Structure formats: C-alpha cells, structure tokens
C-alpha cells in the first residue's frame, strides 16, 4: 500500500503545483521553463554532493558525484533529463542526478542537450550521440557507462542506444529509463485508462511537446516510435514507471518488444505512482526504494563482463 506521506504529498502538491506546471494551454514554453528553473533553485542537494561544470564540444553539462563515489571511479551514468524535449536542464535535474549517483555508486554526466522549438528534431538525438562519443574519446570504456533518462530523456537515451547499435559502435553496459516518453503518437491504451488518474501529464501536454519537437520538420511521428524499432542486440534494459501514468503503455510495449528480441528487459511498475515520482526521493519512501532498485541494477551491470554484441 502507498505510504501515508506519499498520499498526502500527492493530494497537496502533485495534483496542484506540478499539474499546473505541466499545463501549456495558458503558458508559453518560455514561461514553463522559467517556472521549472525557479523550482530548481529551491533544491537542497544531498550533503557532500559535488558538481562540476563541463563543456561537451559546445554543449553545457555537469558532472554530479554523490559523496561516497570516489573521484577515481570511472563508472559513469550518462543522464538525459526530461521535459518533453522543450524544457529541463542540468539545474532542474541536479538533485535527481545526485540521488541516482548515490544509488548507482557512479558519477553522473548530465547534459544540456538542445531543446525545441528552437532546435527541433534531430538536434536532441544528435546531442545524445555526441555525449556518448565524448565520454569514449575521454577514455571511459563503453562497459563502464550506463545510459539513462526520465520522460523525454528516457526516449533520448533509447534513441542514442539505437543509433550506436545501428552505427556499429560499442554499446554501454546498461540502459535505464524512468517513466520514458517513447512515442509522439498518443495511441497507447493508458492514454485512456490512466487519463483520470495521472496527476502530472495530460494528452494535450504531450501533443504540445510533440508539435514543438517535430512541427515543420516534415518527419512523420510514426517513424520515431522507439518501441516499434528493431531492438535486437541491445544491452540490459531497466524500465521503471508509475502505475497511474498515461505513458504506462510506452513502457509496457517497449519491454514486451525487447524481450521478444532477446533483450534482458526488466519492468518495474510502482502502484499508484505518477510520472517521474523518483524526483521526490527527498520526501517519498517509495521514490527512495525505487532508486535503490535502479541502483542495484546498474551496479550489477557495470560490474559484470560484457555480454552483448
């Protein structure tokens, strides 16, 4: 059963403050970004977190290292933030990255990839690939890297993985996706069955983000449905999602397709939880346990010999 603390937090904070933040009907994208950044300014990072700004061939990024992660440890989380491809930054996801770093026992590289509508598809996808290659050029072995992301960042993580595979490049040791947004086509069953329960994301919001990302490019959104791609040969995959999300179908279909392709794909659905609930680990016991489960997966995979081809 969901904890009392989580139920109270959902009814008082998530269903009002967070839902209003993700409503674009009366707010421009610039205003939405300013709201997110203002909230990020209130974060108090876990004690001992170390943050170092870095330039990735013109992209701003940050190394985020939890207190107990040794400086000499090369194991790396390449992390892509969420925000519908229109918002989000290193700042908005600094706390989450710090807690993922702690859970995984590895440093996190968080990337400020280019955002729409100023930079439409394929800018973000190109930046994801550029970030992985930058790590490799700086001496990080592929097996020491786990690619991860939340929401649209989860989609970007998977798109980066597929581009690496299709290009014949070495693949990371693992990939993890938190509440991933994997399709700009809102045809999943959960868009209907979870619409009344999802306190964060609406179909209208998802469609507004998709239009900003793809509008005017001439690209058919169906061509970018990531769970419909050939998933053979991918490394181990961990997908964590809330039961009450309209994006639940994206995760279910991805894991089913990946398993059919012979991929070690693990699905972790959290009862009565919402979109990227892990971001509230400072408060919610369920979020803390979810990150612990994620950390166990990454630690296992980055410490084992390479098995995928």
- The reply to whether 151 belongs to the active site is yes
The active-site residue out of 89, 151, 179, 183 is 151
Q: φ and ψ at 67, to 5 degrees?
A: -55, -40
Q: How far apart are CA 128 and CA 114, in angstroms?
A: 10
- The reply to whether 245 belongs to the active site is yes
Find the distance separating the first CA and the last CA of the chain, reported in whole Å: 41
- The reply to whether 275 belongs to the active site is yes
Q: Are 49 and 64 in contact (CB under 8 A)?
A: yes
Number of C-beta neighbours around residue 281 at 10 A: 23
The active-site residue out of 236, 245, 249, 251 is 245
Q: How far apart are CA 109 and CA 124, in angstroms?
A: 16
Q: Which has the closest alpha carbon to 45: 104, 91, 106?
A: 91
Q: How far apart are CA 40 and CA 94, in angstroms?
A: 8
Catalytic residues: 151, 245, 275
């Amino acid at each position: 059963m969901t904890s009392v603390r989580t139920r109270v937090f959902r009814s008082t904070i998530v269903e009002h403050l967070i839902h209003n933040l993700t409503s674009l009907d009366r707010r421009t994208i610039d205003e939405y970004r300013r709201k997110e950044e203002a909230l990020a300014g209130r974060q108090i990072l876990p004690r001992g977190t170390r943050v170092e700004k870095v330039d990735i061939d013109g992209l701003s990024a940050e190394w985020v290292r939890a207190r107990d992660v040794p400086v000499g440890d090369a194991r790396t989380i390449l992390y892509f933030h969420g925000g519908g491809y229109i918002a989000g930054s290193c700042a908005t996801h600094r706390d989450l990255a710090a807690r993922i770093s702690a859970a995984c026992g590895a440093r996190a590289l968080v990337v400020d990839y280019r955002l729409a509508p100023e930079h439409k598809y394929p800018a973000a996808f190109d930046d994801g690939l550029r970030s992985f290659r930058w790590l490799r050029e700086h001496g990080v072995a592929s097996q020491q890297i786990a690619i991860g992301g939340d929401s649209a960042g989860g989609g970007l993580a998977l798109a980066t993985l597929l581009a690496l595979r299709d290009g014949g490049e070495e693949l990371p040791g693992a990939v993890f996706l938190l509440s991933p947004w994997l399709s700009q086509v809102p045809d999943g069953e959960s868009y209907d069955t979870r619409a009344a329960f999802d306190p964060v994301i609406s179909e209208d919001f998802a469609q507004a983000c998709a239009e900003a990302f793809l509008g005017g490019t001439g690209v058919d959104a169906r061509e970018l449905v990531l769970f419909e791609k050939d998933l053979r040969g991918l490394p181990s995959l961990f997908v964590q999602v809330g039961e009450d999300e309209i994006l639940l179908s994206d995760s279910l279909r991805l894991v089913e397709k990946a398993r059919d392709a012979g991929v070690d794909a693990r699905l972790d659905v959290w009862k009565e939880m919402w979109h990227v609930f892990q971001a509230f680990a400072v408060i919610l016991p369920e979020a803390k346990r979810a990150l612990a489960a994620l950390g166990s997966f990454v630690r296992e995979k980055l410490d084992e010999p390479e098995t995928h081809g």
